[in-house]
Every structure is written in structure tokens, then in C-alpha cells.
Amino acid sequence: MSEKILIALGGNAILQPKQEANYENQLNNVHHSTEMIAQIVKKGHRVIITHGNGPQVGNILLQHEEAKDVIPPFPLDVCSAESQGFIGYMIDQALKNTLQRMGLKNQVVSMLTQTQVSKDDVAFQNPTKPIGVFYSEDEAKQLADKKNWVVKEDAGRGWRRVVASPKPESILGSEVIKTLTDANAIVIASGGGGIPVVKNEDGTFQGIEAVIDKDRSGFKLAAEVKADKFMILTDVPNAYINYGKPNEKALGAITLEEAKQYIKEGHFSAGSMAPKMESAIKFAEQGGKSIICSLDQAGLAIEEKAGTIISK
Ligand SMILES: Nc1ncnc2c1ncn2[C@@H]1O[C@H](COP(=O)(O)OP(=O)(O)O)[C@@H](O)[C@H]1O
Ligand SMILES: NC(=O)OP(=O)(O)O
């Protein structure tokens, strides 16, 4: 049966923490990701792709800041647009090439997407979204003093700069994304959670400096395009309870109630697995099926033979 599937590609699918952030590495990783996505397209499903941008938007911001004596730096929402542009370009090109090699004729289009947030979101008072490269604790604290950054430890992987991450309220242009997907095009949209914008009282929009969580926006987009499945592809095969402990256990097919109970018990780290589980739960609450799995098991997980699967 052909289904409409929103695929959220994790940051690791584009750049792994220990890799140099050059263009070739990112393009190679994206090529591998598109091979996995093409397996799903080949099964006849309609696909919408969203992606992370944490490392990339942080690096772009740093490039702007480092060049400030020569060229005035751009605000963070514009850096987000830049990251969406270049990652969308890589995925679009890699996927077109992969589909062509496989003899598949789907059109691929990458849409620069804005996501509406509230300027009153409490997230603006408490930055939590890690961006850019990893530092040692000492380095990060020195940079925080020198450059007025907020830095935090990121899920046991090192220290990073953090920025505000407001909740997405709606994905601008999601009707067009739905129309294109329903016409069997593969749409890359809402990358990096979408460019954060706020709506003014007169109805106009303007950018705001933040980075939205792509899994939270992924849920919004999945709901707005009426997807059947919301698939979060990351670098672990499942969500786990007691993660990293001797009694760790991979979660397979679970109910909404079980998922909510595990969240309550604090099994998932903020800023990594917690937003994935929360977004997966919200989608399942609306009657859809959510899947969290590794990139390499995407083909199996779509047949419900791998990954963590949450449904009503
Ligand atoms: N309970 C958990 N189960 C699985 N992974 C977890 C859990 N808690 C934290 N994690 C971490 O979440 C990471 C995936 O989240 P993240 O790095 O944000 O992914 P991505 O960039 O692919 O979206 C895993 O590499 C793992 O270290
Ligand atoms: N915007 C966002 O959530 O990016 P990452 O998934 O790369 O952190």
C-alpha cells in the first residue's frame, strides 16, 4: 500500500560529530542517506524529507562572525536560510542522481521554508539548542566569556554553543508541500526546523534569531500534510530505556501510553532523544504511526521490522 511518509533526517546523516565539516564529507554522507530514502521511494511511497542543520548553522554563524571586520555578519535566521539552501541543494542533487541510477522518475524539489514561532516563547529566555562544533569544557567556557555565548554540555559528546529553540507553531506553505507530495513529487522542506519567523500584528512576517528543533517541526509538517507515517532517522537503531546503562533495553513496537510513561520516567536526553520521542508521541496521538530508527534500517523499519514504532 502506498503511504505518505515524512522522513526527518538527523544531523548525523549529514555530518558525524568527529568528521571535518568540509563539503565533500557532507555530500558523501548525504549520498548515503539518499540511497536509504530511495529504497522507500522504490516501494511506491510518497516522501517528504526534512533535515537537521545544527552543525551547519553554527558553522555558518561562526564564519560570519569571524569575518566581521571585512563583511557585516548576518543574523541567525539568515544563517538558517543559508544552511537550508545548501543542505537542500545537496539532498536534492544526491537524490535526483540516486533515483536516476535506479530508473525511478519522481520529481524532486527543495523548498526554502519558514516556520512561525511566537516571540513570547519562553525558549528565548533559556537557550537549549546546540549548534556548531564541539569544544572541551575549558574551551567552551573561555569562548562563552570572550564572545558572550551560552554554552552547554551536549549529551555526553562535548560542549557546544546553544541558542534559543522556540516551538514551531505552523509551517508556512505546507498546503503547497502537500499538493506537490500528493502529485508524487518528493519535497525537501522545513530543513533545520524551518527559518524562524514571527507574525506581526499587521499580518506581516519577520525573521527572529533562533534555531527550531527539526523533529518538532517535522511533526508539525507531517500533521499539516496529513502524512500516514512520521519517520525519524538518526544514528541509533532504536530509542532505549536505561540508555547507556547495563540494563539498557531497545524499544520496539510500543503504545502511546508506554511511550508517555517512559518520558515521565526520564529515559530520554533533552536536546537529542527527548524531542524525538515527544514529537513521535504527538503524531501518534493524531492517529499516525511514528518510527524512530537508524538511517541504515529505514527500509526494514518502514515494514515495521526494525526501529521503535509508536502508535495508538
Ligand atoms: N534513551 C535514548 N535512546 C537512544 N538514544 C538516546 C537516548 N537518550 C539520548 N540518546 C542520544 O540521542 C542521540 C540521537 O539524537 P541526536 O544526536 O539529536 O540525533 P540526530 O542529529 O540524528 O537528530 C543518540 O546518538 C544518543 O546518543
Ligand atoms: N535544527 C535541528 O534540529 O538540527 P539538528 O537536528 O542537526 O540538531
Which ligand places an atom closest to the C-alpha of 218? 2
Nearest to 129 by CA among 215, 64, 60, 67: 215
CB-ligand 1 contact for 283 (6 Å cutoff): no
User: 113 C-alpha to center of ligand 2: Å?
Assistant: 15
Which residues lie below 8 Å from residue 72, measured CB to CB, with a gap of 6+?
none
Query: How would DSSP label each residue in 51-93?
Result: E--HHHHHHHHHHHHHTTTTSPPPPHHHHHHHHHHHHHHHHHH
Which ligand places an atom closest to the C-alpha of 76? 2
Report the pLDDT value the prediction gives residue 163, as an integer from 0 to 100.
96
CA distance 247 to 231: 26
Amino acid at 125: Q
Contact 200, 148 (CB under 8 A): no
- Where do runs of H (alpha helix) occur along the chain? 23-42, 54-66, 76-101, 137-147, 174-182, 214-224, 256-264, 273-285, 298-302
Distance in angstroms between the alpha carbons of the first and the last residue of the chain: 20
- Can you give the pLDDT of all 312 residues of the chain as single tens digits? 899 999 999 888 899 888 999 999 999 999 999 999 999 999 999 999 999 999 999 999 999 999 999 999 999 999 999 999 999 999 999 999 999 999 999 999 999 999 999 999 999 999 999 999 999 999 999 999 999 999 999 878 899 999 999 999 999 999 999 999 999 999 999 999 999 999 999 999 999 999 999 999 999 999 999 999 999 999 999 999 999 999 999 999 999 999 999 999 999 988 789 999 999 999 999 999 999 999 999 999 999 999 999 999
Question: CA quadruple 246, 233, 85, 20: dihedral positive or negative?
Answer: positive
Which atom, in ligand 2's list, is nearest to the CA of 214? 3
CB-ligand 1 contact for 268 (6 Å cutoff): yes
CA distance 175 to 158: 40
User: 224 C-alpha to center of ligand 2: Å?
Assistant: 20
User: 213 C-alpha to center of ligand 2: Å?
Assistant: 6
Ligand 2 pocket (Cβ < 6 Å) reads 10-11, 52-54, 192-193, 211, 213-214
**Interior angle at CA 281, CA 275 and CA 282, nearest 5:** 90
Count the helix, strand and coil residues of the chain and give each as a percent rounded to the nearest 5. Answer: 40, 20, 35
Report the pLDDT value the prediction gives residue 16, as an integer from 0 to 100.
85
199 is a catalytic site residue: no
Report the pLDDT value the prediction gives residue 270, as an integer from 0 to 100.
80
12 is a catalytic site residue: yes
- Grid coordinates belonging to 101: 541510477
CA distance 75 to 59: 13
CA distance 152 to 212: 17
ipTM: 0.98
**pTM confidence score:** 0.96
Report the pLDDT value the prediction gives residue 271, as an integer from 0 to 100.
76
